[in-house]
Amino acid sequence: MSGGVIGVLALQGAVREHLRMLDACGARGRAVKRPSELLDCEGLIIPGGESTAIGLLIMRGGFLEALRETAVKGLPIFGTCAGLIMLARRVTEGSQPLLGLMDMTVRRNAYGRQVDSFEADLRVRGIEDEERPFRAVFIRAPWIEEMGEGVEPLCFHQGRAVLARQGHLLAGAFHPELTDDRRIHRYFLRMVEERKNEA
């Protein structure tokens, strides 16, 4: 991985875990606490947490337009769990601020409450050694109900898409940062390199 910075939006959620995973992948991670810090990033991770709270914190912190603008300019973004919800254009229930960057409809808390959290072995298309299952951690997880033509599903669980890509944007319903399996983070880092090479 090059010397560029991969930011982790540090408003809520598993920020330290994503930074730890980036370090394990040989990337330079940095907690992003102000919109101006996005300018230093070659990629950005939006971690999980409580999506309504994250949406409000994004608005109050002045991140909403800054994130939209940097995404339009091509900044690769990876959203996990609540981050997936934030990237979507539509949710099936409730009302909250969304970045609206990926053409998909998402169901929040699709698998139930915190007590319904679980792990599952998934086959993820495009990662290294993709025949080897990825042990995914689902915590109050969403799923993707509908996808536009530009959205590519990379992984399914019980018939629902739980990892998808649209160009330089990646969204996962589970928490790869809570495992020791680096393959999905390395996939995102390859997306970052691809974007740099295109530019």
Q: pLDDT category, 111, cuts 50, 70, 90?
A: confident
Active site residue 155: no
**CA 175 centroid distance within chain:** 9
**Can you give the pTM of this predicted structure?**
0.94
Strands 134-138 and 118-122: antiparallel
What is the pLDDT confidence band of residue 117, given thresholds at 50, 70 and 90?
confident
pLDDT tens column, 33-43: 999 999 999 99
Q: What pLDDT was estimated at residue 1? A: 44
Tens-place pLDDT, residues 177-193: 999 999 999 999 999 99
Q: Which CATH class is domain 5-198?
A: alpha beta
In tens, the pLDDT along 148-169 reads: 999 999 999 999 999 999 999 9
Question: 41, 81, 157, 185: which is the annotated catalytic residue?
Answer: 81
For range 67-77, the mean pLDDT: 95
Is the CB of residue 150 less than 8 Å from the CB of residue 123? no
The pLDDT > 70 percentage for the chain reads 97
Q: Of the listed 18, 168, 175, 185, which one is catalytic?
A: 175
Q: Domain coordinates of the chain in residue numbers?
A: 5-198
pLDDT by residue (tens digit) across 1-57? Answer: 445 899 999 998 899 999 999 999 999 999 999 999 999 999 999 998 777 788 888
Please say if 81 is a catalytic residue. Answer: yes
Task: Return the structure tokens found at 41.
Answer: 């990033």
Q: Pick the catalytic residue from 17, 168, 177, 185.
A: 177
Residue 177 falls in the annotated catalytic set: yes
Looking at residue 92, what DSSP letter applies? S
Distance (Å, whole) CA 48 – CA 137 = 12
